C-alpha cells in the first residue's frame, strides 16, 4: 500500500482517487476551503480527510495534483513550502513550460512526474489513458499505483514536459474543433440551414487528426482556402458571431502559400512550415499577418 495525497478531488481527481482506493492504496485529501461537492466526491471515492496539508504530506509518498489549469502553480507552491520529499505528479492540462517551472519550484526536495489524462474520468466501464514523463524510478512508482485499474499508463519521456506537450497538442485540436462546431452551427442556425449542415456533416469521413499524411494536400490548397476563410469571417461578422477563429485560420494558412498546388511535398516539410514562425506575407521579423 502506498499513501497518496490528491489535490484536489474534483470530478477527475475524485475518480482517480477512487481507482487508487480500489487498488488498495490510502488516499488523503485536505478539506480546508473545499466545497460541499468536493466533500461529497471525496467520500464517494473513499478518500480520508486530513486536518492540514502538512499532515497529509508528512504521511504521503506521492502527491497527485489534479486541479484546474490556472491553479497548478499555487498547488505546487503550497506543497513546496512544506519541503515535501516524495514524488510530485502534476496531472494537469498545462503547457510543458509551466510543468518545467513547477519542477523547478518543487526541487530539490522531491522528484517531479509530468502527467496527462486523456478521456473521461475513469470508472463505470470507462477506460482512461494516463501519460507519464519523468525520472524512471519516480514514473515507476506513479505507474505502479494504477496496476489493474481503469487508467492505462503510457510512458512518453524521461523529462517533465513530454506528457503535457502531448496533452496540449491533442487539446489544440479537440477543444478547438468542438468550439468551431459551435460557431458553425450558430451560423447555420442564423440562416435557417442548421438541419442541412448536420446532414452534410453526417456524410463526411472524419479521420483528420489520426491521418496527418493528408496535410500536404491542405498546404497545396492553402492559397485558395485562406481567402475563403476571410469570406467566412465576413459572414460570421454579419451574423454577430465571433470571427477570431476564422481569421486565425486564414493567418495560419498563409504559412503554406509557398507550397501552392504542390501536392507531393513531404509531410515533414508541411509541418516545418508551421514551425518556422513566418509566412510568405509575414516577412522575416514575423510582425505582420497576411494581407487582406
* pLDDT (tens digit per residue) in 229-265: 999 999 999 999 999 999 999 999 999 989 999 999 9
Q: Please enumerate in sequence order all residues whose Cβ is within 8 A of that of 246, keeping only pairs 6 or more positions apart, or say none.
A: 183, 229, 230, 232, 233, 236
pTM for the whole structure: 0.85
Mean pLDDT of the chain: 91
pLDDT tens-digit series, residues 70-85: 999 999 999 999 999 9
pLDDT tens-digit series, residues 154-198: 999 898 999 999 999 999 999 999 999 999 999 999 999 999 999
Is residue 107 very low, low, confident or very high in pLDDT (cuts 50, 70, 90)? Answer: confident
What is the chain written as a DSSP string? --EEEEE--SHHHHHHHHHHHHTT-EEEE--TT--HHHHHHHHHHTPEE-S-HHHHHHH-SEEEE---GGGHHHHHHHHHHTT--SEEEE-SS--HHHHHHHHHHHTTSSEEEEEEEESSPSBTTB-EEEEEEE-HHHHHHHHHTTTTSSEEEEEEESSTTHHHHHHHHHHHHHHHHHHHHHHHHHHHHHTT-HHHHHHHHHT----TTT-GGGHHHHHHHHHHHHHHHHHHHHHHHHTT---HHHHHHHHHHGGGGGGTT-TT--HHHHHHHHHTT--TTTTTTT-S----
Is residue 204 very low, low, confident or very high in pLDDT (cuts 50, 70, 90)? Answer: confident
Quote the CA–CA distance of 86 and 146 in Å, as a whole number: 18
Q: Please enumerate in sequence order all residues whose Cβ is within 8 A of that of 139, keeping only pairs 6 or more positions apart, or say none.
A: 113, 132, 133, 155
pLDDT tens-digit series, residues 10-27: 999 999 999 999 999 999
Grid cell of 251 as nine digits: 493567418
Find out whether the peptide bond into 187 is cis, omega within 30 degrees of 0: no
pLDDT at 292 over 70: no
Amino acid at each position: 500500500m502506498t499513501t497518496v495525497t490528491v489535490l484536489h478531488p474534483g470530478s477527475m481527481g475524485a475518480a482517480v482517487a477512487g481507482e487508487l482506493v480500489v487498488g488498495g492504496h490510502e488516499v488523503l485529501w485536505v478539506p480546508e476551503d473545499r466545497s460541499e461537492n468536493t466533500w461529497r466526491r471525496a467520500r464517494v471515492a473513499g478518500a480520508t480527510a486530513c486536518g492540514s496539508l502538512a499532515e497529509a504530506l508528512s504521511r504521503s509518498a506521492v502527491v497527485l495534483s489534479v486541479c484546474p489549469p490556472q491553479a497548478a502553480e499555487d498547488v505546487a507552491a503550497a506543497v513546496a513550502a512544506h519541503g515535501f520529499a516524495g514524488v510530485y505528479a502534476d496531472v494537469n492540462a498545462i503547457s510543458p513550460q509551466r510543468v518545467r517551472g513547477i519542477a523547478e519550484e518543487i526541487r530539490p526536495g522531491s522528484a517531479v512526474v509530468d502527467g496527462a489524462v486523456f478521456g473521461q474520468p475513469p470508472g463505470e466501464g470507462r477506460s482512461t489513458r494516463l501519460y507519464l514523463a519523468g525520472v524512471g524510478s519516480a514514473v515507476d512508482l506513479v505507474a505502479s499505483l494504477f496496476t489493474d485499474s481503469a487508467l492505462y499508463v503510457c510512458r512518453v519521456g524521461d523529462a517533465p514536459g513530454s506528457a503535457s506537450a502531448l496533452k496540449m497538442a491533442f487539446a489544440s485540436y479537440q477543444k478547438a474543433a468542438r468550439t468551431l462546431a459551435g460557431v458553425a452551427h450558430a451560423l447555420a442556425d442564423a440562416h435557417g440551414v442548421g438541419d442541412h449542415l448536420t446532414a452534410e456533416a453526417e456524410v463526411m469521413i472524419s479521420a483528420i487528426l489520426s491521418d496527418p499524411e493528408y496535410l500536404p494536400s491542405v498546404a497545396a490548397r492553402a492559397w485558395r482556402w485562406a481567402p475563403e476563410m476571410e469570406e467566412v469571417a465576413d459572414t460570421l461578422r454579419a451574423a454577430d458571431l465571433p470571427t477570431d477563429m476564422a481569421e486565425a485560420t486564414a493567418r495560419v494558412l498563409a504559412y503554406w502559400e509557398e507550397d501552392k498546388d504542390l501536392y507531393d511535398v513531404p509531410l515533414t516539410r508541411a509541418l516545418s512550415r508551421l514551425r518556422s514562425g513566418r509566412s510568405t506575407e509575414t516577412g522575416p521579423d514575423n510582425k505582420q499577418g497576411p494581407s487582406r
